[in-house]
Amino acid sequence: MELMIPLKNQPGWPYYSQIYNYIKNEIVKGNLKPAVRLPSTRLLAEHLKVSRSTTQMAYEQLLSEGYIESVPCRGYFVLKIDGLIHTGQETLKSQPSFFTAAKEEVGEKKKWDVDFSPRGIDLCNFPFNTWRRISKNTLIDDNREIFAAGDPQGEYLFREAIRSYLHSARGVNCLPEQIIVGAGSEYLLMLLSQILGRDRTIAMENPTYRQAYRVFDSLQYQVVPVDMDQSGMDVSLLEKSGADIAYVMPSHQYPTGIIMPVKRRQELLAWAYQQENRYLIEDDYDSEFRYKGKPIPALQGMDDRERVIYCGTFSKSIAPAIRVSYVVLPIPLYQIYQKRISFYASTVSRIDQNILYQFLSEGHYERHLNRMRAVYKSKHDVLTAGLKSFEDQFLIGGEHAGLHLLLTDRKGRSEEELVLRAEKKNVKVYGLSGSFIHKEHNKYPPTVILGFANLTETEIQKGIALLEEAWSVDGSKGGSS
């Protein structure tokens, strides 16, 4: 089928985002029915007169959010979205209020004047020209080999480029053989479960990155939350938890923003060294973005007994749709990988790996990171400057690194009240409570998260002005009613 997508040349609204939004809205509205086959990325790119990488990025986002699925050798198909699309007329008639409410809820997500999402990144500064040139050069020759099955761990030259970057920028010590490339962190955690075995108890920081928890929970691991202090995961509580694996984010903990000092890192390593089968999983997802001092070296670089499993991704530093992550296995676990599951095929195409390899090896990645650090620091500074007027109402934390800040209430208001009062001004903020594995483990005072990566500086200033009205101490206190 053909899709008549009206593309507009508007600054700040890239073509891939317009394609993604159009298809998503057509699915939500029911105009694209479940099981309908979509045009291939190549045909859609030719029809719309855009690059194939543009349509691929749009489809990857739709895939990751569950609006479409990719069927090998057949193509892309629309998925049924339960609760939003009903094909039976009887269901529509019997539940009109539910259907209307669902449509209103979807529509409401688009009405935010400012959305302080902590999950977004700045795609306006994506190096499209460089990416387009590398993509074109990758396919310009009749290189048949690149379409054949490649190394299950990922292409060797690509892994060597990752190793070189990790060693110079993060202080990680490893060989290319220890690196496994995969399509997203979730896949690599599932792969890791095959190596570690299921008879494990995993400790996670409280609060934590819930997506990782969902993966562990779906794999039926016993997961225990361990409280943190100002230095990160409390090792004395970790010892009491009975866990033999600890999942930590030492360089910039999400969502609290805690940067783990050397002493606490040494304590975590000492905990891991006490017993033979203990391991630390180090999630280093956004360590590149630090605005004061130098980046904090990875915990893995301090490990001299092969107990740290290092996980990284290009999703935050380049684009979510890239869907390329990697894990560095300690040598004993790499040996288990070789014996048990080295037959698993790579989930990242050789074409994408080749593009990323050139992007890294030619220095584009480092230049892009330097540019994005400057962009994010400017946005960070605008946000922190604007929040100075909030200091009598909130304790502001998490600054100097990462892509979000935390505002902890000083005036006795609930998190729900703060969120609802912001919503009344068409501003979306996010509660810290969403980062706890279980609600009863939330011992923190009311706190909201403000992400800034996907906002312009003008939007940040607008959002601050609206929040000042929403949270004015002299204003209405009835926001939660």
Q: Report d(CA 25, CA 6) in Å as an integer.
A: 13
Q: Can you tell me the mean pLDDT for 224-251?
A: 96
Q: Report d(CA 235, CA 207) in Å as an integer.
A: 15
Whether omega for the bond prior to residue 330 falls within 30 degrees of 0, making it cis, is no
Side chain identity, residue 222: Q
Edge-to-edge, what's the strand order for the sheet holding 447-451?
A: 394-397, 404-409, 447-451, 430-431
Measure CA 259 to chain center: 19
Residue pair 403/121 in contact (Cβ under 8 Å)? The answer is: yes
Side chain identity, residue 86: H
3-state secondary structure of 250: coil
Residue pair 244/275 in contact (Cβ under 8 Å)? The answer is: yes
The alpha carbon dihedral of 336, 339, 342, 344 has a sign of negative
- pLDDT tens string 202-216: 999 999 999 999 999
CA 279 vs CA 173, 174, 328: distances in Å: 17, 16, 13
Looking at residue 296, its pLDDT comes to: 78
Q: Report d(CA 300, CA 281) in Å as an integer.
A: 9
Q: Report d(CA 105, CA 101) in Å as an integer.
A: 6
Q: What is the mean pLDDT of the chain?
A: 88
Looking at residue 273, its pLDDT comes to: 97
Domains, the chain, ordered by start: 15-80 (1.10.10.10), 114-125+367-470 (3.90.1150.10), 134-362 (3.40.640.10)
CA 354 vs CA 46, 272, 325, 345, 365: distances in Å: 23, 36, 14, 17, 14
> pTM here?
0.75
Looking at residue 239, its pLDDT comes to: 97
- pLDDT tens string 293-311: 677 789 999 999 999 999 9
- pLDDT tens string 86-132: 444 333 344 444 444 444 444 444 479 999 999 888 988 899 999 99
Closest C-alpha to 196, from 219, 217, 212, 214: 219
Closest C-alpha to 435, from 425, 447, 427, 423: 447
Looking at residue 418, its pLDDT comes to: 96
Give the model's confidence band at 78: pLDDT under 50 very low, under 70 low, under 90 confident, else very high: very high
Closest C-alpha to 19, from 50, 42, 28: 50
